[in-house]
């Protein structure tokens, strides 16, 4: 199974629709192939992505032991709406919240819960998206809560390095295989497993668009050359133990089958003629 990493849609719910409501983004009908964004569309994606980057930067600053994942979700939703956007995740295929909050051996798609208390030493992944003027931004961070183990620090650091190794391959003319090879090299040389059950994706009018962005070498990688104006969500997930995951009974939360730690970082990235622009860059907000 290879599924876009930010929200595993229950299969029955993945039906493209042109319906628009005031409540938030709907899944737009996929156009054929990979969309090349116009200058105007890129500018809107920059704005959507700045909202995501600002929200995640603030979440990283306020997170502390004793808070619940529901507290972080409420904060994220409030800030995304204050900045004039709509949370991309809320209602997406029935997902009930504005962030995914996944702790320790939880890999992705953890559902915020007022009973889920964040503790010293936790490895907390927070993933969120903002829908602004018709376009989405999408990013994920790993937050090390208070004092964490050396293993947790190293895993998160290598996961972030693998993201940037992938991003560094991005330019017009490069291939998705180039990204996968670069990401895989960093993860494997550090001795970590790459989760294969979830991939990155194109992002734009839809939270998830073509192409799938794989984090490891496989024949399934779409054979496309990157072109200026494409926008990709690159989001490798690394496990300290085995690569395998399973979905819990809530139908969303993915966990490592061996209960080993998992870390993930994600950016929305614009392909340019000579390289890339990280649209969700938190250092610029
Ligand atoms: Mg995401
Ligand atoms: Mg994503």
User: How does residue 6 score in pLDDT terms, banded at 50, 70 and 90?
Assistant: low
Ligand nearest to the CA of 87: 1
What ligand is nearest to the CA atom of residue 203? 2
Q: Is pLDDT above 60 for 249?
A: yes
What backbone phi and psi angles, to 5 degrees, belong to 207?
-60, -40
Position 29 pLDDT exceeds 70 = no
Q: What is the pTM of this model?
A: 0.92
Which ligand is closest to the CA of 99, given by its number?
1
Does residue 95 contact residue 8 with C-beta atoms inside 8 Å?
no
Q: Fold for 35-284, please state it.
A: Creatine Amidinohydrolase (3.90.230)
User: Among all ligands shown, which has an atom nearest to the Cα of 100?
Assistant: 1
Q: What secondary structure does DSSP assign to 11-55, as a single string?
A: GGG-------BTTB---PPPPSSPPPPPHHHHHHHHHHHHHHHHH
52 CA to centre of ligand 1 in angstroms: 10
Query: What's the start-to-end Cα distance of the chain, in Å?
Result: 36
pLDDT for 31 equals 55
d(CA 118, CA 136): 28
Cα–Cα distance, 145 to 63 (Å, whole number):
7
- Per-residue model confidence (pLDDT) at position 2: 56
Mean pLDDT of the chain: 92
Categorize the per-residue pLDDT at 36 as very low, low, confident or very high, splitting at 50, 70 and 90.
Answer: very high
253-264: average pLDDT: 98
Residue 263 in this model has a pLDDT that exceeds 90:
yes
- Whole-number Å distance, alpha carbon 5 to ligand 2 midpoint, is 6
Distance CA 138, CA 146 (A): 25
What is the per-residue pLDDT for 33?
A: 76
Q: What percent of the chain has pLDDT over 70?
A: 89
Task: Report how far ligand 2's centroid is from the alpha carbon of 107 (Å).
Answer: 13
pLDDT of residue 23: 43
- Alpha carbons 118 and 19: distance in angstroms, whole number: 37
Instruction: Tell me the pLDDT band of 180, cut-offs 50, 70 and 90.
Output: very high
Any idea what the Cα angle at residue 221 is, between residues 262 and 238, rounded to 5°? 10
Average pLDDT over residues 192-208: 98
Report whether pLDDT(103) > 90: yes
* 3-state SS string for 125-174: EEEEEEEECCEEEEEEEEEECCCCCHHHHHHHHHHHHHHHHHHCCCCCCC
What number is the average pLDDT over the span 187-205? 98
């Amino acid at each position: 199974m290879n599924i876009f990493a930010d929200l595993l849609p229950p299969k029955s719910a993945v039906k493209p629709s042109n319906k628009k409501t005031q409540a938030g983004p709907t899944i737009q009908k996929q156009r054929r192939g990979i969309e090349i964004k116009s200058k105007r569309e890129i500018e809107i994606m920059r704005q959507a992505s700045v909202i995501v980057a600002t929200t995640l930067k603030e979440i990283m600053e306020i997170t502390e032991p004793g808070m619940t994942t529901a507290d972080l979700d409420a904060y994220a939703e409030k800030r995304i709406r204050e900045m004039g956007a709509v949370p991309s995740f809320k209602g997406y295929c029935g997902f009930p919240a504005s962030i995914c909050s996944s702790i320790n051996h939880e890999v992705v798609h953890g559902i915020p819960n007022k009973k889920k208390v964040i503790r010293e030493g936790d490895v907390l992944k927070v993933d969120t998206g903002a829908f602004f003027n018709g376009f989405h931004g999408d990013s994920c961070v790993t937050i090390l809560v208070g004092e964490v183990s050396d293993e947790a620090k190293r895993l998160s650091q290598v996961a972030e390095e693998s993201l940037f190794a992938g991003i560094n391959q991005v330019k017009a003319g490069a291939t998705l295989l180039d990204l996968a090879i670069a990401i895989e090299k960093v993860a494997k040389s550090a001795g970590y497993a790459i989760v294969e059950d979830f991939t990155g994706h194109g992002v734009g009018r839809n939270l998830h668009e073509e192409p799938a962005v794989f984090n490891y070498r496989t024949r399934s990688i779409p054979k496309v050359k990157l072109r200026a104006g494409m926008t990709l969500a690159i989001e490798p997930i690394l496990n300290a133990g085995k690569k395998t995951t399973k979905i819990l009974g809530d139908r969303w939360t993915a966990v490592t089958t061996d209960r080993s730690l998992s870390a993930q970082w994600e950016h929305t990235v614009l392909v340019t003629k000579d390289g890339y622009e990280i649209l969700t860059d938190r250092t610029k907000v």
